[in-house]
Amino acid sequence: ISVFLCLVLQSAEPVRVLVTGAAGQIAYSLLFGIAKGDVFGKDQPITLILLDITPMLPVLDGVVMELQDCALPLLREVIPTDKEEVAFKDLDAAILVGSMPRREGMERKDLLKANVAIFKSQGAALEKYAKKTVKVLVVGNPANTNCLIAAKSAPSIPKENFSCLTRLDHNRARSQVAMRCGVPATQVKNVIIWGNHSSTQYPDVHHCKVNMAGSDLACFAAVKDDDWLKGAFISTVQQRGAAVIAARKLSSAMSAAKAICDHMRDIWSGTPEGEFVSMGVYSSSNSYGVAEDLIYSFPVHIKDKQWKIVDGLAINDFSRGKMDATAAELVEERDTAVTFLSA
């Protein structure tokens, strides 16, 4: 009986979840999903820690009020703060949404320099205050390189605990195929996003399956339009973020929040047998010839909160060229960012 009671008490322990940039528009769409149980489980209590810069604290107070007013049964506590020592303490999960956005006239190296400072500091705070088992998802762009900097700044936390968000691109690719085939997105599985969360990313459907009339078809057989799959489909996914900004005058928020929930839920609960998802993860020891020491988006499957790159997928010359191009961009980004890291 005492063991049973211990298990009950243990299961009732809230998970401590940090969201940075918590007064921003992505967080506004994200926090409700986390707090109501869409990510960590329908019976898992949550403590939400919300970090933002000092000038945003009044806005953050309004967000806290709204979360309180939702009267959510799983939400045990909400802690708004502008202090890293408060935000990063004893974390189970960290969702790093906040970053320096690219401003008009800003060169890419200036953007990288500003973000290196942010993610070096947050990595150091993870190292100092968070649990060593913390799962860290970097969303703020340039997400892959920001994730690498955070991981390098937290040397005692396993590199496998860090990932960056390419699930939004994955979901976009899946949806484009589904619309083309006239099926729900749930009927499309195993699309892959290779590489950087940028316009060089490679949405790959050579291993994708589409369920039509109860049968799994190869994507190329289901779509029956190779030119579209090798042309407009790829560019649509690559440029989707820019298209949303052009239409909305704001960057993707609702779809980004949904992708964050998908990503973290899969880390916590695992991926279905025979299916894989796209995540930016450490490139070390991959079988695809991608350079070491990058955060690069691969197909992964997840079990017991551990991801594993899906090995052995056939890569044709078309795919190889695109995978190499996005890797080259990441190498350049990394090499520039590392010079700022030691500054």
Which parts are annotated binding residues for NAD(+)? 52, 115, 139-141
For the question of residue 197 being annotated catalytic, the response is yes
Q: Which residues contact 317 (CB under 8 A, 6 or more apart)?
A: none
**Nearest Cα to 260, choosing from 22, 53, 26?**
26
- Joined tokens for residue 1: 């009986």
Q: Are 92 and 16 in contact (CB under 8 A)?
A: yes
CB atoms within 10 A of CB 10: 8
List, as residue ranges, the binding site: 52, 102, 108, 115, 139-141, 172
Q: Which two tokens stand for residue 183?
A: 């099926």
What residue type is assigned to position 320 of the chain?
R
Binding residues for substrate: 102, 108, 141, 172
Tokens 């107070």 sit at which residue? 61
The whole-angstrom separation of Cα 141 and Cα 242 is 14
What is the distance between the alpha carbons of residues 138 and 293, in angstroms, rounded to a whole number?
16
Instruction: Say whether 218 sits in a helix, a strand or coil.
Output: strand
CA distance 203 to 278: 10
Cβ neighbour number for residue 311 with a 10 Å cutoff: 11
DSSP track, 1-63: -HHHHHHHHHHTSPEEEEEESTTSHHHHHHHHHHHTTTTT-TT--EEEEEE--GGGHHHHHHH
Exactly one of 170, 197, 207, 301 is catalytic; which is it? 197
Q: Which residues pair with 299 in a beta bridge?
A: 278
Look up residue 280 and give its amino acid: G
Q: Strands, E, within 268-334: which ranges?
A: 277-282, 295-303, 306-309
What letters, b where the CB count within 10 A reaches 16 and e where it falls short, cover 131-150?
beebbbbbbbbbbbbbbbbb
Q: Could you give the count of Cα atoms lying within 13 Å of 90 in the half-sphere of its Cβ? A: 6
Catalytic positions, please? 197
